[in-house]
């Protein structure tokens, strides 16, 4: 693991939106704050967390396609270079690829083939990608609504391999898929990772993350509270560091289905101090003020002052 190259590292990333409150009062709505992740070659990093935690915005932030009223803070590094806006513009669709959720991300009125080619691919590359995913030539002239679920997944994957992506951001690639198809989709991502790519798997399906990822980052209220090797998550709460990760583990059906009391705070009404303190069973006075820094612990990263 130590020898592998870092493909992407994100340090202290924040994303906020300019919003107009009542009247003309303008305020910044922070949806991602102090987020830290890194992905290496050949690795699948799962970003797991319940919906509404701003995970999809992370994908847009990495690709540089956030809406105009968003502002980004923090440092992103891609293969040792700072990932500036210009670099993002140059790399997206080539070295950095997004694998979206569903066919809704394809133009309904355009043949699938020319969409896979896009503006940066070629016909030959598209055919190679189609061959790789066993898509027949007829598929090229099909419209998105004519694709079966499985075909659609493979089409979306071919958009990533056509540009020889080194970093793939897969945003919720499995919802709505049957168990077998989800497995199949994850298998494809695994292969892509084994070929040396770095993959960020954004998902709310925690089971899936535990099964296929190399490392898991737990996402809560717009930040990563813990990043740890997947084995720790398989081992259970004793190996985990953050109270929220432990609670998530215990909330899984196979581990007792214990719900976490309370709800995730919304952007705009985040608590001071540790974002999790209102729901944390082991909180102390110290947790409720100041910023809680991320620190290394037992081969992982954690954002909790009391974690051991």
Partner 1 sequence: MNTLKYLGSTLIRMLLLLFGVSIVCFFLIISSPIDPVDAYVGSESNISQEQKDVIAEHWGLNDPPVQRYITWLKNLLHGDMGDSIAFKKPVVQVLKERFVTSLVLMITAWVISGILGFILGILSGVFSGSVMDRIIKTFCFILSSTPAFWIGLLLLIVFSVNLGWFPVGFAVPVGKAAEDVTLLDRIYHLILPAFTLSITGVSNIALHTRQKIIDVMKSEYVLFAKARGETTWQVIKRHGLRNIAIPAITLQFASFSELFGGSVLAEQVFSYPGLGNAATTAGLKSDVPLLLGVALFSVLFVFAGNFIANLLYGILNPEIREGSEK
Q: Does 243 help bind ligand SF4 (rule: CB under 6 A)?
A: yes
Report residue 302: phi and psi, to 5°.
-145, 150
Q: How far is the CB of 242 from ligand SF4 (least distance, A)?
A: 6
Q: Does 282 help bind ligand SF4 (rule: CB under 6 A)?
A: yes
Exposure of 132 by Cβ count < 10 A (0-12 exposed, 13-18 middle, 19+ buried)?
middle
Task: Single out the residue of 48, 98, 160, 287 in contact with ligand SF4 (rule: CB under 6 A).
Answer: 287
Q: Does 24 help bind partner 1 (rule: CB under 8 A)?
A: no
CA distances, 44 to each of 33, 148, 196, 197, 274 (Å): 23, 27, 10, 9, 28
Question: What is the helix (H) or strand (E) element at residue 20, kind and residue range?
Answer: strand 6-20
Q: How far is the CB of 274 from ligand SF4 (least distance, A)?
A: 3
Q: Does 266 help bind partner 1 (rule: CB under 8 A)?
A: no
Largest CA distance in the chain: 64
Give me the residue label for tokens 């820094």.
Answer: 293
Q: How far is the CB of 59 from partner 1 (least distance, A)?
A: 8
3-state SS class at 271: coil
- Both tokens of 275, joined, read 């974002």
From ligand SF4, partner 1, none, interface partner of 104 (C-beta below 5 to 8 A by class): partner 1
Question: What is the helix (H) or strand (E) element at residue 284, kind and residue range?
Answer: none
What part of residues 29-88 is at the interface with partner 1 (CB under 8 A)? 60, 63, 65
> Pick from 193, 225, 212, 206: which is nearest to 295 by CA?
225
Q: Does 237 help bind ligand SF4 (rule: CB under 6 A)?
A: no
Per the CB < 8 A criterion, the answer to whether 173 and 203 are in contact is: yes
Q: How far is the CB of 83 from partner 1 (least distance, A)?
A: 15
Task: Single out the residue of 63, 274, 294, 301 in contact with ligand SF4 (rule: CB under 6 A).
Answer: 274
Closer to partner 1 at the Cβ: 92 or 197?
A: 92
The C-alpha atoms of residue 55 and residue 159 are separated, in whole angstroms, by: 21
Task: Single out the residue of 55, 92, 204, 283 in contact with partner 1 (rule: CB under 8 A).
Answer: 92
- Residues lying near ligand SF4 in the complex (CB under 6 A) are found at 242-243, 274, 276-277, 280, 282-283, 287, 292, 304-306
- Residues lying near partner 1 in the complex (CB under 8 A) are found at 60, 63, 65, 89, 92-94, 97-98, 100, 104-110, 118-120, 143, 145-146, 159, 163
């Amino acid at each position: 693991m130590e020898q592998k190259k870092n493909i992407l590292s994100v340090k202290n990333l924040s994303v906020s939106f300019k919003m107009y409150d009542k009247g003309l009062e303008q305020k910044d709505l922070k949806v991602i704050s102090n987020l830290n992740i890194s992905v290496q070659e050949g690795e699948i990093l799962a970003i797991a967390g319940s919906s509404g935690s701003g995970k999809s915005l992370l994908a847009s932030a990495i690709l540089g396609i956030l809406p105009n009223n968003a502002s980004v803070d923090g440092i992103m590094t891609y293969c040792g270079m700072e990932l500036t806006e210009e670099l993002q513009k140059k790399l997206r669709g080539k070295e950095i690829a997004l694998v979206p959720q569903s066919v809704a991300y394809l133009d309904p009125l355009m043949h699938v083939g020319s969409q896979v080619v896009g503006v940066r691919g070629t016909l030959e590359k598209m055919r190679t990608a189609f061959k790789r995913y066993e898509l027949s030539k007829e598929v090229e002239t099909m419209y998105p609504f004519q694709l079966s679920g499985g075909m659609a997944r493979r089409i979306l994957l071919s958009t990533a391999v056509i540009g020889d992506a080194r970093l793939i951001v897969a945003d919720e690639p499995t919802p709505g898929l049957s168990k077998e198809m989800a497995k199949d989709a994850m298998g494809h991502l695994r292969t892509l990772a084994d070929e040396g790519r770095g993959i960020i798997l954004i998902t709310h399906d925690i089971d899936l993350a535990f099964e296929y990822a190399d490392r898991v980052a737990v996402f809560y209220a717009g930040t990563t509270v813990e990043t740890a090797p997947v084995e720790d998550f398989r081992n259970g709460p004793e190996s985990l560091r953050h109270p929220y990760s432990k609670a998530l583990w215990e909330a899984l059906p196979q581990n007792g289905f214990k719900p976490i009391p309370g709800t995730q705070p919304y952007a705009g009404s985040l608590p001071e101090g540790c974002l999790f303190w209102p729901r944390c069973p082991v909180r102390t006075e110290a947790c409720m003020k100041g910023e809680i820094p991320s620190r290394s612990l037992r081969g992982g990263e954690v954002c909790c002052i009391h974690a051991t």
